[in-house]
Amino acid sequence: MDQTVKIFKTLSDPTRLRILALLLRQELCVCELTAALEMEQSRISHQLRVLRNAGLVEDTRDGKWIIYRISKDKKKDLKFIFDRLIGDKLMDLEESARDYKRLEESQKLNLRNCPVSIERRSV
């Protein structure tokens, strides 16, 4: 029961839901999440730490980068929750649509391969 409560508490934060919505689409680094959500790196890092502690997100190192993704054992459950609660309306939500658009724009800039970037700091 404690783990279930922890997961629901984790899902109760709008920023964490926005992060999960993006991560359900693809693996991302902190710099990409920072650009998509227009938030400071420290705030994104804190939210990722909460998601990781709840077992919803896992990370891997890729050189200097830490790449985040939905935990393999939770991805199906999170997709189910998002589909049942939000359904196809996720892209209709203005905030989510803006997040996805900013993510696409930031990926065109290829932030992971910028030679020097303040966003390069990892969690």
Residue ranges covered by each domain of the chain: 2-105
pLDDT digits (tens, 9 = 90+) for 11-60: 889 899 999 999 998 999 999 999 999 999 999 999 999 999 999 999 99
Cα 3 to Cα 21: distance, rounded to the nearest angstrom: 21
Q: How far apart are CA 102 and CA 39, in angstroms?
A: 12
Give the architecture-level CATH label for domain 2-105.
Orthogonal Bundle (1.10)
> With bands split at pLDDT 50, 70 and 90, how would you rate the model's confidence at 118?
very low
**What is the bridge-based pairing of β-strands 57-62 and 28-29?**
unpaired
- Whole-model pTM? 0.81
